[in-house]
Amino acid sequence: MSANDLTISNTGVGIPGIIYGTAWKQERTAALVEQAIKLGFRGIDTACQPKHYNEVGVGEGVIAACRTLGLDRSQLYLQTKFTPLNGQDPLRIPYDASASLGLQVAQSFQTSLQNLQTDYLDCLVLHSPLTDRQQLLEVWQAMEALQASGAAKQLGISNCYDQDLFDFLYQRASVKPAVLQNRFYADTGYDKQLRAFCRQQHIVYQSFWTLTANPTILTSPTVIALAAQYQRSPAQIFFRYLTQIGIVPLTGTTSANHVREDLAIFDFELTGPECAQLDSWL
């Protein structure tokens, strides 16, 4: 298995086994995205949210790396997000704040296509669910229209930790979520119930804040012992374990060495009993 072996979602779209996250990189975004792709990443996650992402920079980094490596757009997995108004910087909203929700989605998506210099995206993710369920459906239906047009190959949702809300969306959606991207930490019980549902429905669960939120796991005797045994870092052990139980982790490292280490997790495989030792944490 390699970093670019694909996990297939319920829509038949292939998602790389580990994805490069681009939040909080500001003016360094283009260079860091270019570096990640040149070193081997083929999945890139971003958002049309100037508050936390430089989506223009992501596009510049993608184009520069593809030009250097001779990569075709089809060889990359590009994923962006529609961020509702409550997640935007009021001074830098990338769509008309007075427009209908459906138009906001359409305008945000067109901005993303321009920013990323592409004519389609592999996944459009709702950055966080709207608390009003009718508004949630209105936004999702606008996203469905983009998927139906072929401009977005599949849809997903992020920051959704409520099983009842996720069930509601899944049942009411004409186009089912193909991706659930959540913060991965103990406070939500590592989304055990949600992850089980995702496995049943072939929804790809993507984790973020995976290392930062889990220092206890990374310093546990089990992980430390496995790291010594495999001559890997604790982060590599944890990432590899997650990929082996069907999770696609995001990593946003700015270090070239850590990029290489993240991609190298597919060079080894934990045994069943070793994974079982780690299961108790989740």
Q: What domain range is 173 assigned to?
A: 6-209
Model confidence pLDDT, tens digit, residues 26-37: 999 999 999 999
Paired tokens of 236: 């590599």
Q: What is the CATH number of the domain that holds 195?
A: 3.20.20.100
What does the alpha-carbon distance between residue 113 and residue 103 come to, in Å, rounded to a whole number?
15
Does the pLDDT of residue 118 top 50, yes or no? yes
Structure tokens at 2: 């390699």
- Provide the phi-psi class of 239: left if phi over 0, else alpha when psi is between -120 and 50, else beta: alpha
Would 263 be classed as within a structural domain? no
Between CA 243 and CA 237 the distance in angstroms is 10
Q: How far apart are CA 43 and CA 17, in angstroms?
A: 8
- Asked whether residue 33 is domain-assigned, the answer is yes
Task: Determine, yes or no, domain membership for 199.
Answer: yes
Q: Is the pTM of this model over 0.95?
A: yes
Number of domains in the chain: 1
β-bridge mates for residue 79, sequence order: 45, 123
Structure tokens at 240: 């590899």
Q: Please, which pLDDT band fits residue 1 given cuts at 50, 70 and 90?
A: very low
DSSP state of 196: H
Residue 77 included in any domain? yes
SS3 14: strand
Quick check: is 191 in a domain? yes
Has residue 29 been placed in a domain?
A: yes
Tell me the pLDDT tens digit for each residue of 194-224: 999 999 999 999 999 999 999 999 999 999 9
Give me Rg for the CA atoms of the chain: 18
Residue 26 lies in a domain: yes
- Within 159-263, strands assigned E span 179-183, 204-208, 247-251
pLDDT at residue 5, as a whole number: 77
- What is the average pLDDT value for the chain, to the nearest integer? 97
Residue with tokens 């184009």: 63
Residue with the bigger pLDDT between 6 and 49: it is: 49
Look at residue 20 and tell me if it is in a domain.
yes
230-267 pLDDT, tens digit each: 999 999 999 999 999 999 999 999 999 999 999 999 99
